[in-house]
């Protein structure tokens, strides 16, 4: 199976378009089966721990064992996914989870497992899932063309919600008639199926360009990219605000069922089924009418829907009124989450994609975790109703974030490497670790153009910082103010070489906007300066030759 072509004939993609690509279709089906296995595993694990111990703390730690690996490994896994072949990483993570689930299943069937042992294996499986998640989201961009990407991400959300709806029920039946051990074995088999599909995928080889990044440098580059990308920064702010507010529903819906309505766990499962069904329906709804709403409008509508969800949980006294509310919440959940995820992926070039996705996932999980703690504590100290009303108020206020942090369309961005900077001419070979490096670009700008030039260079400065510069700025010659020099400071020569590959075709438009103000007869003069070596070797100490080209 080979990857998707860069273009396709469909003039207007639909929800079904990604499934026309064989690799995506195979991986999506395998992912659906694996997701069902994971939800079966969650039910079986909690149930088995409950039967093996009388400690409520140990039972509660099952959720910690599942979620803690995501906090510990989200960023490192994103870095590895950008530095190492993603197909090989997927094969490793799937094989690791096959082994862990298989061993847990065998020990359970032999009666040789304890509650603490289940906690340990759950943590190990959580590590595999945490390493797998950023890679899994990233490979979608390689399997479908860019215009179909929003629908591919929506289908992934559908997969998880279908699994959420049927996985616990199937797991419960297996537990009731056989043993939790069989659930664990079936989960391992589901990972094995995914491993086989990924193994059959003939991924296009990635060509290395420039010096290789080390782990710490790659992590810093990813965080710096987000810091100096307003579109991404805004999405992360709104993601945290949304997940913080929506966490009240996830954290307190079981409390509403058990304490307020005094109903059984069966009603709780039914509530979650309505939520999952709404998410699946939401995918089809967006497939038909989604093009009429941009991502910003979808997030606004979804946030307002959860204002209603929290108020309904606080005020309604009949579970039959809450079922359609949860169905609508499922529609809103999928609409908002796919909007956030798609916006992030459409705004990120391939070289830093997995790192940014891992940061996005970490921010989302942080909002859920902190929000659950806050709303749960507020419910304990005051009342359940007040906590849910407070969460509704938070969601309503979060809508105002659309003013300072609007989500703009990114479908037409061209984030392919520009590749238009020639390699600097140097007197002798330079070690990639040598540095720091200062790059200076000299312009001649007429006085009437200074305000517009300054505005254009502010955008270019942000790009320099985003792509690896530690400092950047613009200075004018005090004796001849029309002589203006842009500079940026990079830690090493290797990092500057990587800057050459990180500059995209979309960035070229900003660079061209700056260059149009240059009035000299020659192109802007570029100088590369390397920190003066501490050596007596004359050949090495010779200054680098100036270069009249792009940096």
Question: What is the rounded radius of gyration, in angstroms, for the C-alpha atoms of the chain?
Answer: 27
Reported as a pLDDT band with limits 50, 70 and 90, residue 278 is: confident
The most confident of 109-113, 223-227, 545-549, by mean pLDDT:
223-227
On whether the CB atoms of residues 437 and 532 are closer than 8 A, the answer is no
In the beta sheet, which residues pair with residue 527?
440
CA dihedral sign, ordered 31, 36, 38, 39: positive
In DSSP notation, 411-476 reads: TT---SB---PPPPP-SS---TT---EEEEEEEE--GGGHHHHHHHHHHHHHHHHHTT-SEEEEEE
User: In angstroms, rounded to a whole number, what is the distance separating the alpha carbons of residues 215 and 81?
Assistant: 11
Provide the Cα torsion 133, 138, 143, 148; round to 10°.
110
Token pair 């089924």 is at which residue?
Answer: 273
Task: Report DSSP letters for 66-131, one per residue.
Answer: HHHHHHHHHHHHHHHHHHS-HHHHHHHHHHHHHHHHHHHHHHHHTT---HHHHHHHHHHHHHHHHH
Q: What is the pLDDT of residue 282?
A: 82
The CA distance from 390 to 374, in Å, is 11
* Count of CA atoms in the C-beta half-sphere (13 A) of 467: 24
Give, as one character, the DSSP assignment of residue 549: S
Nearest Cα to 508, choosing from 445, 421, 423, 441? 421
For residues 374 and 400, which has the higher predicted lDDT (pLDDT)? 400
Q: Is pLDDT of 4 > 80?
A: no
pLDDT of 173 reads 81
Relative orientation angle of helices 149-177 and 265-289, to the nearest 10 degrees: 160
Tokens 């504590």 belong to residue: 377
- How is residue 82 written in tokens? 């950008």
511 vs 463: CA distance, rounded Å: 10
Q: Is the pLDDT of residue 140 over 90?
A: no
Beta strands at 525-530 and 471-476: parallel, antiparallel or unpaired: unpaired
Task: Give the confidence band of 549 by pLDDT, cuts at 50, 70, 90.
Answer: very low
Structure-model confidence comparison of residues 548 and 142, the more confident one: 142
At 407 the three-state DSSP class reads: coil
The two three-digit tokens of residue 451, written as one number: 């305000």
Write the pLDDT tens digit of every residue in 447-505.
999 999 999 999 999 999 999 899 999 999 999 999 999 999 999 998 898 888 888 88
Going by C-beta distance under 8 Å and a sequence separation of 6 or more, which residues neighbour residue 15? 151, 154, 155, 283, 284, 286, 287
Higher pLDDT, 146 or 534: 146
Residue 8 confidence class, pLDDT cut points 50, 70, 90:
low
Both tokens of 212, joined, read 């290789």
End-to-end CA distance of the chain: give it in Å, rounded: 40
* Alpha carbons 269 and 256: distance in angstroms, whole number: 13
Query: Tens digits of per-residue pLDDT, 66-104?
Result: 777 887 888 888 888 888 888 888 999 999 999 999 999
Instruction: Please write the tens of the pLDDT for every residue from 208-220.
Output: 556 677 888 888 8
Instruction: Tell me the pLDDT tens digit for each residue of 49-73.
Output: 777 777 656 665 676 677 778 878 8
In what helix (H) or strand (E) does residue 8 lie, and over which residues does it extend?
Answer: none
Contact 183, 171 (CB under 8 A): yes
**In angstroms, what CA-CA distances link 117 with 42, 188, 481?**
15, 17, 72
Q: Looking at per-residue confidence, does 321 or 548 come out higher? A: 321
CA dihedral sign, ordered 251, 252, 255, 256: negative
User: How many whole angstroms separate alpha carbon 449 and alpha carbon 232?
Assistant: 31
313-350 tens-digit pLDDT = 999 988 889 999 999 999 999 889 989 988 998 899 98
User: What DSSP assignment string belongs to 300-366?
Assistant: HHHHHHHHHHHHHHHH---HHHHHHHHHHHHHHHHHHHHHHHHHHHHTS-GGGHHHHHHHHHHHHHH
- Residue 539 in this model has a pLDDT that exceeds 60: no
Angle 68-71-75 (CA atoms, 0-180°, nearest 5)? 145
The predicted structure's pLDDT at residue 232: 92
């Amino acid at each position: 199976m080979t990857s998707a072509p860069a273009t396709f004939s469909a003039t207007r993609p639909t929800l079904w378009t990604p499934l026309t690509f064989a690799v995506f279709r195979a991986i999506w089906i395998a992912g659906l089966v694996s997701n069902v296995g994971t939800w079966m595993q969650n039910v079986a694990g909690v149930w088995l721990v409950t039967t093996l111990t009388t400690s409520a703390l140990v039972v509660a730690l099952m959720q910690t064992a599942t979620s803690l690996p995501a906090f510990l490994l989200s960023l490192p896994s994103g870095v590895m996914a950008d530095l190492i072949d993603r197909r090989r990483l997927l094969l490793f993570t799937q094989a690791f989870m096959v082994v862990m689930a298989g061993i847990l299943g065998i020990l359970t069937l032999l009666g040789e497992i304890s509650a603490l042992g289940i906690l340990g294996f759950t943590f190990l499986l959580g590590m595999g899932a945490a390493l797998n998640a950023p890679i899994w989201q990233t490979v979608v961009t390689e399997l479908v063309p860019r215009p179909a990407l929003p629908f591919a991400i929506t289908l992934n959300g559908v997969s998880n919600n279908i699994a959420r709806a049927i996985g616990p029920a199937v797991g419960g039946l297996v537990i009731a008639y056989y043993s939790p051990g069989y659930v664990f074995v079936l989960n391992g088999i589901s990972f094995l199926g995914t491993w086989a599909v990924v193994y059959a995928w003939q991924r296009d080889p990635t060509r290395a360009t420039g010096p290789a990044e080390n782990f710490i440098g790659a992590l810093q580059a990813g965080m710096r990219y987000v810091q100096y990308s307003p579109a991404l920064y805004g999405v992360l702010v709104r993601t945290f605000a949304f997940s913080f507010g929506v966490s009240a529903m996830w954290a307190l819906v079981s409390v509403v069922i058990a304490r307020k309505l005094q109903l059984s766990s069966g009603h709780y499962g039914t509530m979650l089924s309505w939520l999952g069904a709404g998410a699946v329906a939401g995918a089809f709804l967006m497939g038909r009418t989604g093009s009429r709403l941009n991502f910003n409008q979808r997030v606004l509508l979804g946030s307002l829907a959860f204002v209603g969800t929290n108020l309904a949980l606080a005020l309604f006294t009949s579970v039959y009124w809450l079922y359609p509310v949860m169905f609508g919440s499922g529609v809103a959940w999928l609409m908002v989450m796919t909007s956030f995820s798609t916006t992030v992926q459409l705004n990120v070039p391939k070289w830093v994609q997995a790192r940014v996705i891992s940061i996005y996932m970490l921010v989302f999980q942080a909002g859920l975790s902190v929000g659950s703690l806050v709303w749960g504590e507020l419910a304990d100290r005051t009342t359940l109703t007040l906590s849910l009303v407070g969460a509704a108020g938070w969601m309503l206020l979060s809508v105002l974030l659309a003013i300072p942090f609007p989500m703009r369309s990114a479908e037409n961005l061209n984030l392919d490497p520009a590749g238009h900077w020639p390699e600097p001419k140097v007197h002798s070979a330079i070690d990639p670790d040598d540095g720091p490096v200062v790059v200076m670009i000299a312009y001649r700008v007429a006085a009437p153009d200074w305000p517009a030039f300054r505005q254009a260079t502010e955008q270019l400065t942000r790009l320099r910082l985003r792509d690896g510069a530690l400092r950047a700025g613009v200075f004018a010659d005090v004796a001849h103010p029309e002589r203006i020099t842009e500079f940026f400071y990079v830690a090493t020569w290797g990092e500057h070489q990587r800057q050459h590959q990180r500059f995209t075709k979309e960035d070229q438009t900003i660079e061209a906007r700056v260059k149009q103000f240059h009035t000299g007869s020659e192109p802007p003069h570029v100088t590369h300066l390397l920190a003066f070596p501490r050596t007596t070797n004359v050949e090495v100490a010779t200054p680098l030759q100036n270069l009249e080209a792009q940096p």
